[in-house]
Structure 1
């Protein structure tokens, strides 16, 4: 931490940490990137420092209610949520590291929910869900679908309310992290009069409470995903232990071959077994060859002896995947996020509930036409009529 950062007021220091996390939370950069992980690690350290400072200052107390806490202090109730979301994006270097990161994420998010319950920030319905063990997905598919639609509708309403309450009326599609930054001082020189923790700004109080309720919805979803991933990791086989080459003659043959090959390896080059780091980063280019398990020993030895005197052109895994992506050979989407997203019919149903608006009438008309087309199709096509080849 530089001397300039240590002299910053706590709100500006917290805002600077959040701004460093915006590209990571917005998925603008890949989490597998080494620079992204370094930024994430530094931001997590800063967030733990902010949390310790809030504890030492006694900003929050179990004996207070939400009416007794200052407007500017409400923004710091988001610290455990940001910490839990940041921890959920780290620990990608191995199974054990990932498990530890997910457990730390659960601890931070549970602390965030307990803080909201202590200050009674949540509504009656949200309070009942939290006390009833929110975070575990219902086993019944119908109830799981209803919970998904209810959560989506509540998030949409909260984002619209936050957009109307914040100064400047930001886009309702903004991320929760961007909403939090709207409560804090900006870059040095902006809102200089709002750097004190106890300074009151009543126009931000309603927006702060709405943001905390929105973050609670996000925390429930993250806790469910963490529990699912921890269950998968618990059933995963142990990571293989990488050891030295079994036959020392193989390394000697490789060294002898390097003496007469046309393009010799530079001094200090990495060893053949160190192609990929523990975090998944490619250390040197290499060719992707077909499997040799189906070849006989004679064919395998022949392919190793009668080979070109120069190394063939290679590309890294990232270059190969980028080329496949450009050619359209990689299918994107799907996964848990696609499963949780509302269907087209559900979105039309939600839009049609806004009575009196042109968008609602258009959505209701689209849903009516879709239902009518489906009813007409089922009338014209008897169930099983297309199964003419396999009647058994």
Structure 2
């Protein structure tokens, strides 16, 4: 649905149609890397920006108002900046610069959502304190970050259960927040010319406030992940297409890794011919049994320092090349016939030329052994240096 088509609908119905188009994306039913998914996101973003402009032109929200002055029909539209920020965070997959721009737009929308909640005093004192702390950035102390995540997880679970119990259809508590928002809007196909929604439900206002508090918890988590991703992208090297023309060339490596192996590196250069370690290296787990997802994850989340490395397969291959691995042995080697037994079996082939040759080889071997034992009797070499 284009923005021009949606502008002919009442604002609640227009918002309902936009949210319905986004539900499969927020439920992870559609892959974000799919071109069709990105097209849906792009259309939804245009419509959400149009809704945001319509709300501003109508003066629905004002810093001079209190929460009691906002009707139920207008209160549900406080969710628009959060949906806008989430959509921006899921878009911008066309390159490094596009992704950075999308994340910054998401950050702007989420901060506008938090400012709206703070100005209308929707949050509890503890939630307002967390919003103020997030304005100073993600805590550097790992213990504090862990405590904040635990508090957010418990609050999110509690709010989801409250919302699910208060909604008439009682959706699953793990449902997408869009499902909760849609429960407070007119159902698709229902005409409603006013800005009020579900006026017949006395608990609608309480449900909307619970949804806004849930979105606040999710918004803080999104801000933290956006800040970390932006830090990584800003510090990453520019792509070839983003470099000046004179710096482009066929030898430029446009792959970015935290641990880049030097050019021309070979595993045997880490160990000398005598077995001496020439420089430090790390033995990594074998990658032969890993899936593509696990292998790619292992290439990203690794040490931040640059260190030559080899897998276990490469290490064993190098040791085998240097002759440090002995093959054979075990029960199979014990059960295999010896050379004398094989020669005796071959000599039993009566009437065959090969059998006669093997029989002659067996006779010569036994004769040589008899001569050796005659010259070297048992115990002759064990005289304890007594001559």
Structure 2-normalised TM-score?
Answer: 0.61
- C-alpha displacement of 1:229: 0.6
CA deviation map 1:314-353 (0-9, x unaligned): xxxxxxxxxxxxx973456998xxx9xxxxxxxxxxxxxx
Unaligned runs of 5+ in 1: 244-272, 274-292, 295-326, 340-392
CA deviation map 1:331-384 (0-9, x unaligned): 56998xxx9xxxxxxxxxxxxxxxxxxxxxxxxxxxxxxxxxxxxxxxxxxxxx
Does 215-224 or 128-137 show the bigger shift?
128-137
Counterpart in 2 of 1:23?
24
Counterpart in 2 of 1:235?
235
Counterpart in 2 of 1:197?
195
Counterpart in 1 of 2:208?
208
Counterpart in 2 of 1:329?
291
Counterpart in 1 of 2:56?
55
Q: Which has the larger radius of gyration?
A: 2
Give SS of 1:46's match: helix
Matched, 1:72 2:73: yes
- C-alpha displacement of 1:40: 0.4
CA distance in 2, matches of 1:74, 1:202: 14
CA RMSD of the aligned region, Å? 3.0
Counterpart in 2 of 1:9?
10
CA deviation map 1:183-239 (0-9, x unaligned): 111221x3x4x5521464432100000000000011101111111011001110110
CA distance in 1, matches of 2:64, 2:141: 39
Counterpart in 2 of 1:343?
none
Correspondence list, 1:307-346, <5 A: 329-331=291-293
Change in 2 beyond 3 A, CA 1:333/1:61: farther
CA distance in 1, matches of 2:54, 2:226: 28
CA distance in 2, matches of 1:27, 1:69: 33
Kept after mapping to 2: 8 A contact 1:135/1:221? no
CA deviation map 1:29-66 (0-9, x unaligned): 11111111111000000000000000011111111111
Kept after mapping to 2: 8 A contact 1:135/1:220? no
Counterpart in 1 of 2:169?
168
Counterpart in 2 of 1:384?
none
Counterpart in 2 of 1:40?
41
Correspondence list, 1:265-304, <5 A: none
CA distance in 2, matches of 1:241, 1:22: 35
Change in 2 beyond 3 A, CA 1:133/1:241: closer
Counterpart in 1 of 2:286?
none
CA deviation map 1:255-314 (0-9, x unaligned): xxxxxxxxxxxxxxxxxx9xxxxxxxxxxxxxxxxxxx89xxxxxxxxxxxxxxxxxxxx
Kept after mapping to 1: 8 A contact 2:107/2:226? yes
Counterpart in 2 of 1:128?
129
Structure 1-normalised TM-score?
Answer: 0.61
Change in 2 beyond 3 A, CA 1:2/1:113: closer
Counterpart in 1 of 2:109?
108
Kept after mapping to 1: 8 A contact 2:72/2:204? yes
Change in 2 beyond 3 A, CA 1:16/1:239: same
Unaligned runs of 5+ in 2: 244-249, 251-263, 266-288, 302-387
CA distance in 2, matches of 1:135, 1:182: 35
Name the count of aligned residue pairs.
258
CA distance in 1, matches of 2:106, 2:83: 10
CA distance in 2, matches of 1:3, 1:93: 26
